[in-house]
Structure 1
Amino acid sequence: MTGWLDAVGGYRSRDEVDGHGFDFRPRWWQTRVPEPSWAAFLDDLREAERGRGYRHITRADMVAVATGPLPVPAVLVAAYAWGTGDGAFLAPRRARVFRDTPPGDLTHRLTGVRDLLATSDAAAAYASLLPGGANRIKHLGPSFFTKLLYALDPSRRALILDRFVAIALRDITGWPLSSTGPWTVDEYTRWLDWAHARAAKDGVHPDAVEMALFSYGKTL
C-alpha cells in the first residue's frame, strides 16, 4: 500500500462499501418535496440503531432506488438523504433543489440525465448538469449530482467527486483541483480514468477507491 492508503487502513470490502451509510429522519425530506411518492420509500429503510424515528441509508440503498420502479426524483432524494446524513440543520437549505424547480421540469431533467447515462457516458451526463447544460438544476452542485450519477449509471463508471475526494486527489496527484468545484468535464473524466485505473491495478472496485480517497481527504 502507498502512504495515503495506509493512512486510512486500506480499501474497504465490497460489503463495507455497499453498507457505507448514515442515519437520518425521513420527515426532514418528506416534508420538503412536492410529491409524496418521491420520498415515501424513506420510511421503508432499515431502522437506525439509535431509534427515535431515525432510518439508515446506504450506498446500496441509493443504487436500489435508482434501479427500481420509483420515480427518478426519488434517486435525488436518496442522494440528498445519504449525503446529508444526520445533519438535520442542513436539510432546509439543501431541499431548495426540490422547491425552486417545478416538479415536472425536475423530473424531465433528471430523466434526461438517466437517458444520457444509458445512451452516452458519465462525462456527457456530468456536462449536462453543469451551468448552461441541458439538464442544469438550480441549487444542485457537483458534490451532490455526482452522487446521483453514481447511483443511476448502469455502467458503474460514474463516481462521486466531492470536496474530500478533491482534496485527497490534489494531495496525492498534485492536480490543481478546486476543493469546492464546480469541476470541469475534463477534470471529472480525469478523476474517473484515474480511479478506474487504480482499481484495476489494485484489484478492487472503483467505488472502493473513491471511498478510500474520501476517508483520506477528511484527514487533511
Structure 2
Amino acid sequence: MQTGTPVPDRAEVLGRAIPFDRTRWLSVLPGGDWWPDELDDCPTVGGRPRVDRETVFGIARRADTPQGRRHLLTAALVWGTGTKAQSVARRARIFTSPRSQDIEAHLASALGLLRREGAEAAYSAFRETRRIKFLGPAFFTKVLYFAGHEQCDPVVAPRPLILDRYVALALRAEAPDEKWRLGGWTTQRYLRYLTFAHDQAQRVGVRPDQIEAALFARGGQLR
C-alpha cells in the first residue's frame, strides 16, 4: 500500500482477540439461545475472556440455521465491541428497538443474498431493504465478513470485508482525492473499498482481510 503499512500474516489476523464481559452481554440479549457456547470456551487473559476472529469464523459456519444466525450476530457484536458498558449498551439497542422482531428475517435475507449474489448485494440489503435498526455498516460488515470471507469465491465476486471508521481513515490517507467519509458509506463506496483491498491483496499475495487488518491498524494511528 502507498503508506507502507505492514501487512500482518493470516495467523495474526485470525488470532486478533478482543476481551468481553459475558455477564453484561447475557443481560442484554433477547434470550440465552442467542449466546454461542464457543464464547464460554474462550481463553481468559487478565481476568477477561477473549474472543478471536478464528472463533467467530467457526460460529459463522452454522449461519445456515436461525439459531446459527443469532449466534453469528452475537459473536460479531461481542468481537467488535470490547468491555465498556456504554459500548455494550449501544449495541444492545439492536435488540430493544420496536422492530427487533425483524432481526432474524433480515439476517436470513441478507445472508442469503451474500451466498447467491455476493457482498455488494448483501451490503445494499442491510443498508436499505433489510435494515436492522441500530446495526450500522461498521457492524453489519462484520457479520458479512465472518459469514462470507472464507466461503465466497473471489473469482465470482469480492470477498466481504469489514469497513469501519478506522479503515475509512486509512483509505482517506491512501486516496485523499476520494474524500472518504467516516460513516454512512453507500453501496458503491463499499464496492470501491472491496475492489481496492482485493487489488492490493492480489498484488502482495495475501488474503483481502490481511489488507483490511493493515488498514485498520493504520487508521488507529491516524485517529
Does the TM-score normalized on the shorter chain lie above 0.5? yes
Give the drift of 1:35. Answer: 2.3
Q: Indicate if the aligned counterparts of 1:101 and 1:137 stay in contact, CA closer than 8 A.
A: no
Counterpart residue number, 1:138? 133
**How many residues matched?**
211
Q: Indicate if the aligned counterparts of 2:3 and 2:173 stay in contact, CA closer than 8 A.
A: no
| Shift in alpha-carbon separation, 1:30–1:40, aligned structure 2, 3 A | farther
Secondary structure, counterpart of 2:18 in structure 1: strand
In structure 2, distance between residues paired with 1:168 and 1:77 = 27
Give the drift of 1:43. Answer: 4.4
Counterpart residue number, 1:107? 104
Give the drift of 1:148. Answer: 0.6
Which residue type is aligned with residue 146 of structure 1? T
Deviation digits for residues 126-156 of structure 1 (CA, Å, limit 9, x no counterpart): 00111xx221000011001100110111217
What is the percentage of aligned positions where both structures have the same residue?
Answer: 36
Deviation digits for residues 70-107 of structure 1 (CA, Å, limit 9, x no counterpart): 42021111111111112233111211101215554211
Select 1:18's aligned residue among 14, 17, 20. Answer: 14
Q: Indicate if the aligned counterparts of 1:42 and 1:55 stay in contact, CA closer than 8 A.
A: no
Structure 2: stretches of 5+ with no match in the other structure: 154-158
Check if 1:57 corresponds to 2:51.
yes
| Shift in alpha-carbon separation, 1:184–1:2, aligned structure 2, 3 A | closer
Check if 1:81 corresponds to 2:78.
yes
Q: Indicate if the aligned counterparts of 1:34 and 1:103 stay in contact, CA closer than 8 A.
A: no
Give the drift of 1:48. Answer: 1.7
Deviation digits for residues 5-64 of structure 1 (CA, Å, limit 9, x no counterpart): 1xxxx111111100011111112211111121111425423132212xx21111111211
Secondary structure, counterpart of 2:68 in structure 1: coil
Counterpart residue number, 2:156? none
Secondary structure, counterpart of 1:218 in structure 2: helix
The TM-score, its normalising length taken from structure 2, stands at 0.89
Give the drift of 1:198. Answer: 0.3
In structure 2, distance between residues paired with 1:58 and 1:195 = 22
Q: Indicate if the aligned counterparts of 1:25 and 1:55 stay in contact, CA closer than 8 A.
A: yes
Counterpart residue number, 1:196? 198
Select 2:93's aligned residue among 64, 84, 96. Answer: 96
Secondary structure, counterpart of 2:189 in structure 1: helix
Check if 1:67 corresponds to 2:90.
no
In structure 1, distance between residues paired with 2:94 and 2:4 = 35
| Shift in alpha-carbon separation, 1:177–1:218, aligned structure 2, 3 A | same
RMSD between superposed Cα atoms in Å: 1.7
In structure 1, distance between residues paired with 2:100 and 2:37 = 18
| Shift in alpha-carbon separation, 1:3–1:182, aligned structure 2, 3 A | closer
Secondary structure, counterpart of 2:51 in structure 1: strand
Q: Indicate if the aligned counterparts of 1:4 and 1:216 stay in contact, CA closer than 8 A.
A: no
In structure 2, distance between residues paired with 1:187 and 1:45 = 37
Structure 1: stretches of 5+ with no match in the other structure: none
The TM-score, its normalising length taken from structure 1, stands at 0.90
